[in-house]
Amino acid sequence: MATDTTPPVAPVEVGVGPLSAADVVAVARGNTPIVLAADALDAINTSRAIITELASDDTAHYGVSTGFGALATKHIPAERRTALQLSLIRSHAAGSGPAVEREVVRALMLLRLATLATGRTGIRPDTALAYADLLNHGITPVVHEYGSLGCSGDLAPLSHCALALLGEGWVDDADGHRRPAAEALAAAGLKPITLAEKEGLALINGTDGMLGQLLLALHDLDALMTAADIAAAMSVEVLLGTDAAFAADLIALRPHPGQADSAANLRTLLAGSGIMASHRDPDVCTRVQDAYSLRCSPQVHGAARDTFAHAHAVAGRELAAAIDNPVVTTDGRVESNGNFHGAPVGYVLDFAAIAVADVASISERRTDRILDVARNQGLPAFLAADPGVDSGHMIAQYTAAGIVSELKRLAAPASVDSIPSSAMQEDHVSMGWAAARKLRRAVDGLTRVLAVEILTAARAMDLRAPLTPAPATRAVHDAIRTRVPAPGPDRFLTPDIDAVVDLIHTGALIGAATSTAVDPLR
């Protein structure tokens, strides 16, 4: 019998200090186990002692001895304060619509646990450990598309997660089977918890859903921006364009860091191109400059890179935050605050969606140029094998155009659309969750638009033979040809597009380009 020699994955330690973005992705997507650090348990014990002392106090303490939101002036007697927490979770688990993705739920759960670990919420250690157990056993509460206004945090999504701790509601188990929470807990050898004072609030009052989705999107967008540079390089090459506008000294005249990185990638990807060398002789090529969609690729891609860098900075600050209301301070006070408002995260989610739409837009314009016989420098119309009988990539461009049109709609900001709630107590909200949901769709759309461009450019590269492409773009072409046949009569195109989408998702195309590039890609 063979022995599994795969080394165990080191767990992510959740302590008082902030998690990294990589930790969140590893737990959300890679099922990396987690462990609560000793300093976290100490901090949790310390703040819990403060809440325990206040639990029998007649003085009004929000969320401990009062109702919530517009009911904050309602005094709750000591004997009803644990029932208050149970009622909070049940009433706030009011989401509706389709279930959101497993990785989103795992990300938001990990981020809520990270706040619990700071010792600023008054949670009991056993409750925090039970929350960690859900993640480690692969039990994923069913969280719905609609329900969060992004203030006070992502209340409904987090309430569905807290409900599962109580053995109520629905979850997906580690095998992906949907079942009642109580049944899944029992099958995993776990027991439901009973909430104590303040714990219901501690479990639901954070920006964890919108932040988790931002971190996942940024992880994907970092790779997609390299893929966008690959797509642009291939398009410049097959359209017999020039790399002169990407020269380092010209790019340095406008010192935006993202622009410099994108231009450096284009120079690296196009180095050694036989196709480009074929028309460098000024007696042969009379073209002075390329169309904007080619020449300005580093400017557009670079602006998007800088936008995402700003979003990374905001996400990093949010990862270092301890968000709850009320919050337990280091000197023993329990204070109400507004740190749960999702504006900082909501703004960058919207900002990122704008950049995504524009990168997709310039990509689609390059695709269209490759297909247009009036502009593609001698390639057949739509790259068809027999134009007229065959349509080539005509409708693939329609697909890209349709996605770009939707991305423009998704670029309309959610964060400007506040709707008052809770009888005007919560009279300005962030809509950060909605901004996060549309960004996820936008990231998927950008991936598909880039896949259409790369697929089209690879076909054009074949049609430029016997001219030889650059080593890096040729490696990308060859990686595509392991999954997609060479040009020929029309065929079912959806599998070809999906294959390139998969090659982008897995990093295979970036890996291919990097394997032969003269310099590392940025």
Q: In the beta sheet, which residues pair with residue 34?
A: 12
Q: What fold, for 25-206?
A: Fumarase C; Chain B, domain 1 (1.10.275)
Q: How far is CA 151 from CA 274, 346, 368, in A?
A: 56, 11, 43
- Each residue's pLDDT tens digit, 384-418: 999 999 999 999 999 999 999 999 999 999 999 98
Closest residue by Cα to residue 356 from 227, 260, 511: 227
Within 58-116, residue ranges assigned H as helices are 81-92, 102-116
Residues β-bridged to residue 66: 75
**What is the chain's length?**
522
Q: Which helix (H) or strand (E) element contains residue 140? A: strand 140-141
Find, among 31, 39, 40, 209, the residue nearest to 115 by Cα.
40
**Strands 327-328 and 334-335: what pairing?**
antiparallel
Q: Which residues are catalytic?
A: 62
Q: How confident is the model at residue 1 (pLDDT cuts 50, 70, 90)?
A: very low
Cβ pair 395, 493 in contact under 8 A = yes
Write down the H helix ranges in 372-463.
394-410, 432-463
Burial (0-12, 13-18, 19+ Cβ within 10 Å), 270: buried
- pLDDT tens digits along 106-121: 999 999 999 999 999 9
Give CA separation, 389 vs 313, 385, 392, 408, 464, in Å: 53, 9, 9, 34, 21
Beta carbons of 109 and 31 less than 8 angstroms apart:
no
Contact criterion met (CB below 8 Å) for 85 and 123? no
- Percent of the chain at pLDDT > 90 equals 81
What SS3 state is found at 327? strand
3-state helix, strand, coil in the chain (%, to 5): 55, 5, 40
Question: Token pair of 355, please?
Answer: 């950049």
Give the per-residue pLDDT at 285.
61
Tokens 């902030």 found at: 18
**pLDDT at residue 508 above 60?**
yes
The answer to whether 500 touches 512, Cβ cutoff 8 Å, is: no
CA distance 456 to 450: 10
Strand partners, 144: 99
Torsion over CA: 303, 309, 315, 321 (sign): negative
> In the chain, what are the domain boundaries?
25-206, 213-516
In the structure, what pLDDT confidence band is assigned to residue 282 with cuts at 50, 70 and 90? low
First to last CA, the chain: 45
pLDDT in tens, 439-469: 999 999 999 999 999 999 999 999 999 999 9
Largest CA distance in the chain: 92
Torsion of the alpha carbons at 427, 432, 434 and 438, rounded to the nearest 10: 150
Task: Determine how many CB atoms are found less than 10 A away from the CB of residue 395.
Answer: 13
Question: How far is it, in rounded angstroms, from Cα 73 to Cα 290?
Answer: 67
Tell me the two tokens of residue 79.
Answer: 């004997």
Element (H, E) at 170: strand 170-172
Q: Do 270 and 236 form a contact (C-beta atoms < 8 A)?
A: yes
Mean pLDDT computed over every residue of the chain: 93
Residue with tokens 């390299």: 226
In the predicted model, is pLDDT for residue 3 greater than 60? no
Identify which has the larger pLDDT, 398 or 150.
398
Number of Cβ within a 10 Å radius of residue 229: 27
pTM for the full model?
0.94
Going from the C-alpha of 29 to that of each of 101, 214, 219, 294, 508, the distances in angstroms are: 10, 14, 11, 35, 18
SS3 state of residue 328: strand
DSSP at 283:
T
Task: Dihedral sign for Cα 404, 409, 413, 419, please.
Answer: negative
Mean pLDDT of the 334-362 span: 95
d(CA 248, CA 364): 26
Instruction: Please say if the pLDDT value at position 295 is more than 80.
Output: yes
SS3 category, 57: coil
Least confident of 147-156, 171-180, 300-309: 147-156
State the average pLDDT over residues 77-104.
89
| Fold adopted by 213-516 | Fumarase C; Chain A, domain 2 (1.20.200)
The pLDDT assigned to 279 comes to: 80
Q: How far apart are alpha carbons 448 and 454 in whole angstroms? A: 10
Q: Using one digit for the tens of pLDDT, what is the confidence trace for 46-83? A: 999 999 888 777 676 666 766 666 566 667 666 676 78
d(CA 303, CA 259): 7
For 167, residues 6+ apart whose C-beta sits below 8 A from its C-beta are 181, 182, 185, 191, 192
